[in-house]
């Protein structure tokens, strides 16, 4: 049976008729009346006297008048302020913009308003391979946050203290974050699958007072005990005054951990739900850069900026509200978890999942979406491409009739991935490709319910995000590739980096290339119609014959081949000015062999689909491509390893999905070094 999703069949047939080539979804005629974006534009007309007839007009106003735009978001969503602001954008400099001076608020208070929901409505659905399903109503969530808040107070946690969480993506993590934020304390989390060194590298920088942790977890059918690692982490964090353990793998785990407080004991005392008023830029949580080189940057985000940004992104761009069930496959170590939690602020029910998404097969998450009646299903681009390669047909296998949207992020999604979602999941729902980052804890390129979806393209620049592509001379260009930059402040730009008292590390990280302009590190093309294409990291640029080549286009061709599971391409420059070497690493699918026939096919596809410049000098087989735990390929670290830099100086193994994936590249680097040494000796 073929299940359908989203809007009615009659509306779909009418709206899809006569669409332009390349458009996979087009807004229905009723989009302005039915979408939250359309209702916001109508409010601007009635309340502000602004007649913005198209999304493009709305975007241009939002970036030309940022203070007025973000004040409209504050007012439209009726943000709860303990002290109202006495302005909007008081200082527009980058870095160092000053937003909403004088305002006090609390992110947790905004999230727990749960607009449009009654106390008996289920607002959190937890699915896990370690235990039975769990649901929390609005009343239960508020009660648990109040109890956790009181428990943290008993442990001495107050305004400005750090609470570190070594927790999976479970409802208790949401409770912990909201309780911490309600106190004006600062949250930071790592997923339990992080290696010990990666956790210590992160938490060691912020000196937490309390650690929330699990004893272990199940990944598919495999138990993973983390008690020994937890002991190492506690020893390495002398600032800790208490450790709270959620028994997750074994019911009696707390008895095995010296001095630990049980999660149930933390929540033992009923208490009123209260919120500490804090300044707009008071630290809410600390996220971390991927940590592939050196210590991960501890990126501090503020209460006000995250509140406004996530209200805008989730309600207006993702069209989420009280009737939605919002899921994104993520761990607590990726910013998409923080983004997911903010679904509560727009009234959506948040769906969490912890476990192996490929156990017992890649249909696991789609089956869960059907069972939970998920309306918005988000995942990484590599996950969607893996489903495509496996030949899944979720829309035929499961009843996804509640689904209204699919989200993708983490890497550029090739056109083939868009087409797979359209053909195999649903032709009636939009695919929202999102690009942003941990640095702003949001997407600044993404979907809009008023803009079509083009295969292989991100639909638009999001409201309030003045994203541009700069040419070699630092001038904005349209219709050609350039360096992605943000040229006006956004409230969710970092408050700072933890421990960076003079702001020098922040300026070096984002503003050193173009003073006063945020450089994000991607190659971007903004099309004439306003859609966007990201072609790879600008610090992983390939350049052959004077032509700059993005890595994403390589992967789109190579990974479309059924025999290829994953790939990575690097260009090693020749210091003497020669063409250098273009190396393509391929991880074959199970059962496939990287033989001369497949190598020839890969080269032919690259030549025919792209150009002769794209044909690599060598195609090398590896068991797996190194990726971070959030799915990003290690292009730059692998390049540095092959150039002779020690792996330990380029990549933190504990921050990788598979630490062993570096080994073939290290072996190749040693072999290349030995060959070079022999050549020098022979000469």
Is beta strand 349-354 parallel, antiparallel or unpaired with respect to 518-526?
unpaired
- pLDDT single digits (tens) 159-206: 999 999 999 999 999 999 999 999 999 999 999 998 898 899 999 999
Q: Where are the beta strands (DSSP E) in 169-215?
A: 186-190, 210-214
8 A C-beta contact, residue 149 and residue 133: no
What are the start and end residues of each CATH 3.30.300.30 domain in the chain?
A: 552-682
> Helix H segments across 501-616?
504-510, 551-558, 596-609
Residues 6+ apart with CB under 8 A from 71: 88
Residue in this structure with the two tokens 């290696």, named with its chain if needed? 195
CA distances from residue 295 to 292, 461, 631, 640, 641 in whole angstroms, order as listed: 8, 31, 19, 17, 17
- What pLDDT band is residue 577 in, cutting at 50, 70 and 90? low
pLDDT at 648: 78
Quick one: average pLDDT of 496-501? 96
Under the phi-then-psi rule, with left for phi > 0, alpha for psi from -120 to 50, and beta for the rest, what region is 57? alpha
Has residue 543 got a pLDDT over 80?
no
In the prediction, which pLDDT does 637 show? 87
Percent of the chain surpassing pLDDT 90: 77
Instruction: Report the percentage of the chain scoring pLDDT > 70.
Output: 92
With 70 as the cut, is the pLDDT of residue 288 above it?
yes
CB 511 within 8 A of CB 456: no
Question: Which of 292, 334, 357, 219 has the alpha carbon at shortest distance from 662?
Answer: 292
Q: Is the pLDDT of residue 575 over 80?
A: no
Closest to 125 (Cα-Cα) out of 113, 133, 117: 133
391, HSE (Cβ side, Cα atoms, 13 Å): 2
- Copy the structure tokens of residue 433: 């490709």
pLDDT of residue 576: 59
pLDDT at 239 > cutoff 60: yes
**pLDDT for the residue numbered 17:** 38
- How far is residue 623 from each of residues 284, 297, 626, measured CA to CA in Å? 40, 30, 10
d(C-alpha 379, C-alpha 339), whole Å: 13
Provide mean pLDDT across the span 49-76. 97
User: Edge to edge, what strands does the sheet with 581-588 contain?
Assistant: 564-572, 581-588, 618-621
Q: How many residues does the chain have?
A: 683
pLDDT at 467: 98
Look over the chain and give the mean of its residue pLDDT values, rounded to a whole number: 91
- Average pLDDT rounded to a whole number, residues 403-415: 93
The pLDDT of residue 80 is above 70: yes
Q: Does position 5 have pLDDT exceeding 60, yes or no?
A: no
Alpha-carbon separation of residue 491 from 93, 199, 201, 306, 340 (angstroms): 12, 28, 28, 7, 19
Mean pLDDT of the region 462-477: 96
Q: Is 232 in a helix, a strand, or coil?
A: helix
Distances (CA, A) of 48 to 37, 87, 212, 311, 649: 15, 17, 46, 19, 54
Q: What would the mean pLDDT of 360-371 be, rounded to a whole number?
A: 97
CATH code of domain 552-682: 3.30.300.30
Residues 235-246, mean pLDDT to the nearest whole number:
98
Which ranges in the chain are annotated with CATH 3.40.50.12780?
Answer: 111-322
pLDDT band of residue 571 (cuts 50, 70, 90) is confident
Q: Is the pLDDT of residue 561 over 80?
A: yes
CA trace torsion 156, 161, 166, 172 (10° rounding): 70
Cis geometry, peptide bond prior to residue 318 (ω within 30 degrees of 0): no
DSSP letter for 421, please.
I
The pLDDT value given to residue 114: 97
Does position 675 have pLDDT exceeding 80, yes or no?
A: no
Look up residue 429 and give its two tokens: 């729902």
Map residue 627 onto helix, strand or coil.
strand
- Fold of the domain built from segment(s) 111-322: Rossmann fold (3.40.50)
Least confident of 343-357, 487-501, 658-672: 658-672
Q: Is the pLDDT of residue 404 over 50?
A: yes
Has residue 434 got a pLDDT over 80? yes
pLDDT at site 464: 98
In angstroms, the CA 179 to CA 152 distance is 8
pTM value? 0.87
- Examine residue 489 and say whether the peptide bond preceding it is cis (omega within 30 degrees of 0): no
What is the number of other CB atoms lying within 10 angstroms of the CB of residue 59? 23
The whole-number pLDDT of residue 21 equals 61
pLDDT at 97 over 90: yes
**Which tens digit of pLDDT belongs to each residue from 635-662?**
888 988 998 888 877 777 877 888 899 9
pLDDT tens, residue by residue, 607-635: 887 778 788 999 999 999 998 877 788 88
Report, as an integer, the average pLDDT of 328-354.
Answer: 97
**Measured between alpha carbons, how far is 365 from 36 in angstroms, rounded to an integer?**
27
E runs forming strands in 538-644:
542-544, 547-549, 564-572, 581-588, 618-621
pLDDT at 13: 34
Report H helices in 537-662: 551-558, 596-609, 635-642, 647-650
The stretches of 249-315 forming alpha helices (DSSP H) are: 263-266, 303-311
Burial grade of 430 (CB within 10 A; 0-12, 13-18, 19 or more): buried
């Amino acid at each position: 049976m073929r299940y359908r999703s989203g809007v009615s069949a009659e509306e779909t047939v009418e709206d899809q008729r006569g669409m332009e080539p390349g458009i996979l979804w087009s807004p229905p005629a009723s989009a302005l009346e039915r979408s939250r974006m359309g209702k916001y534009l109508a409010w601007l007309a009635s309340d502000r006297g602004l007649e913005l007839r198209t999304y493009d007009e709305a975007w241009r106003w939002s970036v030309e008048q940022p203070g007025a735009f973000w004040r409209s978001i504050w007012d439209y969503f009726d943000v709860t302020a303990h002290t109202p602001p006495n302005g909007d954008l008081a200082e527009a400099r980058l870095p160092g913009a000053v937003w909403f001076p004088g305002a006090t608020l609390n992110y947790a208070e905004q999230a727990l308003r749960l607009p449009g929901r009654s106390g008996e409505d289920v607002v959190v659905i937890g699915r896990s391979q370690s235990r039975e399903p769990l649901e929390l109503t609005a009343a239960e969530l508020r009660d648990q946050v109040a109890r956790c808040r009181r428990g943290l107070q008993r442990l001495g946690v107050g305004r400005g203290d750090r609470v570190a969480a070594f927790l999976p993506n479970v409802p208790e993590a949401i409770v912990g974050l909201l309780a911490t934020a309600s106190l004006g304390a600062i949250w930071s989390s790592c997923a339990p699958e992080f290696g010990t060194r990666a956790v210590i590298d992160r938490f060691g920088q912020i000196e937490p007072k309390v650690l929330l942790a699990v004893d272990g977890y199940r990944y598919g059918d495999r138990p993973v005990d983390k008690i020994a690692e937890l002991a190492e982490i506690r020893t390495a964090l002398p600032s800790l005054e208490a450790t709270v353990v959620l028994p997750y793998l074994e019911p009696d785990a707390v008895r095995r951990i010296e001095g630990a407080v049980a999660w149930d004991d933390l929540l033992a005392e009923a208490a009123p739900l209260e919120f500490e008023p804090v300044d707009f830029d008071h630290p809410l949580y600390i996220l971390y850069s991927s940590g592939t080189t050196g210590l991960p940057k501890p990126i501090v985000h503020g209460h006000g900026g995250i509140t406004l940004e996530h209200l805008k992104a989730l309600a207006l761009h993702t069209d989420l509200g009280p009737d939605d069930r919002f899921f994104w496959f993520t761990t607590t170590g990726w910013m998409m978890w923080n983004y997911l939690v903010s679904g509560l602020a727009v009234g959506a029910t948040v769906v969490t999942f912890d476990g192996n998404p490929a156990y017992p097969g890649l249909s696991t998450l789609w089956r869960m979406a059907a069972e939970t009646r998920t309306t918005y299903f988000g995942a990484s681009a590599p996950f969607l491409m893996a489903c495509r390669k496996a030949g899944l047909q979720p829309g035929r296998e499961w009843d996804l009739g509640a689904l209204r949207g699919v989200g993708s992020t983490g890497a550029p999604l090739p056109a083939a991935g868009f087409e797979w979602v359209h053909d195999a999941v649903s032709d009636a729902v939009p695919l929202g490709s999102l690009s942003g980052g941990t640095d702003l804890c949001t997407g600044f390129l993404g979907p809009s319910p008023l803009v079509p979806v083009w295969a292989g393209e991100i639909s638009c620049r999001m409201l309030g995000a003045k994203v541009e592509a700069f040419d070699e001379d630092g001038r904005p260009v349209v219709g050609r590739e350039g360096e992605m930059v943000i040229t006006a402040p956004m409230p969710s730009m970092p408050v700072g980096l933890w421990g960076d008292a003079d702001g020098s590390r922040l300026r070096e990280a984002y503003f050193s290339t173009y003073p006063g302009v945020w450089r994000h590190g991607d190659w971007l093309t903004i099309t004439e119609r306003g859609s966007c294409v990201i072609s790879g990291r600008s610090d992983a640029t390939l350049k052959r014959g004077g032509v700059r080549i993005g890595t994403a286009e390589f992967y789109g061709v190579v990974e479309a081949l059924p025999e290829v599971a994953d790939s990575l391409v690097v260009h090693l420059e020749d210091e003497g000015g020669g063409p250098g070497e273009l190396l393509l690493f391929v991880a074959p699918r199970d059962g496939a062999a990287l033989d001369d026939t497949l190598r020839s096919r890969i080269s032919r596809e690259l030549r025919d689909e792209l150009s002769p410049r794209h044909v690599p000098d060598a195609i090398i087989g590896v068991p797996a491509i190194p990726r971070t735990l959030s799915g990003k390929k290690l292009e730059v670290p692998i390049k540095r390893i092959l150039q002779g830099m020690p792996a330990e100086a380029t990549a933190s193994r504990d921050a990788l999905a598979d630490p062993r994936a570096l080994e073939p590249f290290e072996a190749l680097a040693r072999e290349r070094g030995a060959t070079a040494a022999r050549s020098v000796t022979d000469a």
